[in-house]
Amino acid sequence: MKKFLKKIKHIFPLFLLGGILGWFISYILERYIDKNECNPLITVLIFFVFLILCYQLQIILHELGHLLFGLLTGYKFISFRIGNIIWIKNNEKIVKGRYKLQGTGGQCIMLPPELKNGFVPYLWYNLGGVIINLSVSIISILIEKQTRSYTHLSVMLLFCFALTLTGFFCAITNGIPYYSNAMVNDGYHIMSLKKSRIVQKSYYVMLKTNALQVKGKRIGELPYEWFLLPEEADLSNPINASIRILEGNWYYDKLQFEEARICYETLLNSSVTILNVLKRELLCELLFFELVSFQREEVIHSLYTKELIRYIEAMKFMINKQKLRYACAVVIDQDLEKANKIYTCAWQNKENFCIKGEAEMEFEVLEWTKKYFENKKILDK
């Protein structure tokens, strides 16, 4: 029964989208094709094109909503990302770069105001995207009502319908609390932040750490105490779980790989629901630790799966994949020419990595990895 309910929980958003989409298509066919003698196939195709465009537009508007309401509640702008294009505030200038987090269409990183009595404002910042999506949908409905009698505006009305549909879809899927290994939404964050001061503290540390890394701080330069969770902290909450990952990252920055490994495995070996993208990132780090330590074939084989290989290739331009791809080329592929190309290419593109704090850390680890293989005489074979 529990497995059945879990499956229903995961596929419910798809059923919801399908139902709403089917209703809108039938509504369009009934209202416009019969009255305007439009070709049904062309009308539906135009509508689907508008759906794709409007959905991308709603993602941008959603992130702008976070930005706007964050600024109104004391947050400071750090970076704004749509797809793999990111704009970062660097020394009072906005610079453009490239960054991607699989499973997310965009992201707005802001520096939160200081804690006051253990409280950080979270409601309007998290709700901002939903408010903007709903507002745009309502405006689209009003435009449609005012212009529905003008037959020559059929294409514009189709666009309004698509904008309304995608706006409500984004508002529902982000506003109704939901958490699975595929996604965690704003509604879930609001609900969990309201219930727990521990989660509020973790939320503050998570946002501040991300912001400081974008501004050039390495996580190892931050106080270790930030990443120590109370014993009663619920690791099933994704915000608390992210702090455990940051604790591991703190050790990683200090080249204390065994301590980092323990932090990561605490989450992977538990029954805690972890976002798929974070799970893949942790598996990448565990694979790296194995390659630069015991190099046990059975462990490497269990980690280096086809799924993880595809993920590494898809994210190969990210800075934290450079040292992993280098280590894989040396140990698994035993291709020193390929390893040297990865190493050289990484250094040649160093300035393109826009999260400066993360970049400095990863290049130090890349150098450490090269020296490790040199000391082991692997590079001399």
Kindly report which listed range (141-150, 230-239, 260-269) carries the lowest average pLDDT score.
141-150
Give the model's pLDDT for residue 144.
79
Average pLDDT of span 18-46: 64
Spell out the alpha helix ranges (H) of 255-335: 257-268, 276-291, 297-303, 306-314, 322-331
Q: Which residues of 204-223 are buried (b: 16+ CB within 10 A; e: fewer)?
A: bbbbbbbbbbbbebbbbebe
Q: How far apart are CA 75 and CA 125, in angstroms?
A: 8
- Tokens linked to 203: 């939320």
For residue 145, name the pLDDT band (cuts at 50, 70, 90). Answer: confident
189 compared with 214, residue with greater pLDDT:
189
* pLDDT class of 37 with cuts at 50, 70, 90: low
Please report the pLDDT score of residue 31 as a whole number.
Answer: 60
Has residue 117 got a pLDDT over 90? no
130/176 Cα distance (integer angstroms): 10
Residue 302 has pLDDT above 60, yes or no: yes
pLDDT of residue 13: 59
Quick check: 240 and 188 in contact, CB under 8 A? no
Q: 86-90, 134-138, 252-256, 347-351: which has the minimum mean pLDDT?
A: 86-90
In the prediction, which pLDDT does 103 show? Answer: 61
Helix pair angle (40-72, 123-147), 10° resolution = 140
Residue 33 pLDDT > 60, yes or no? no
The confidence band for 296, taking pLDDT boundaries of 50, 70 and 90, is very high
pLDDT of residue 194: 94
Least confident segment among 62-66, 92-96, 213-217? 92-96
What per-residue string of b and e applies to 350-381 under the rule 16 or more CB within 10 Å gives b? eeebbbbbbbbbbbebbeebbebbeeeeeeee
Alpha carbons 82 and 92: distance in angstroms, whole number:
21
- Residue type, position 127, single letter: L
Beta strand extents in the chain (DSSP E only): 76-82, 85-90, 93-98, 106-111
DSSP character at residue 29: I
Contact present, 322 and 342 (Cβ < 8 Å)? yes
Q: What is the pLDDT, as a whole number, of residue 339? A: 95
Across 116-140, average pLDDT: 94
Q: What is the pLDDT of residue 82?
A: 86
3-state DSSP assignment of residue 22: helix
**261 contacts 249 by C-beta, under 8 angstroms:** no
- Model pLDDT, residue 187: 96
Three-state DSSP class for residue 159: helix
Tokens of 113: 């105001």
Most confidently modeled of 154-168, 172-186, 218-232, 351-365? 218-232
CA distance 127 to 171: 9
Residue 25's pLDDT is 61
Phi, psi angle pair for 120, to nearest 5°: -125, 135
pLDDT at 224: 97
Residue 151: pLDDT above 60? no
pTM given for the model: 0.86
**8 A C-beta contact, residue 216 and residue 89:** no
Give the start-to-end residue ranges of the domains of the chain.
Answer: 2-75+112-189, 217-375
Q: How far is CA 18 from CA 13, 187, 243, in A?
A: 9, 22, 36
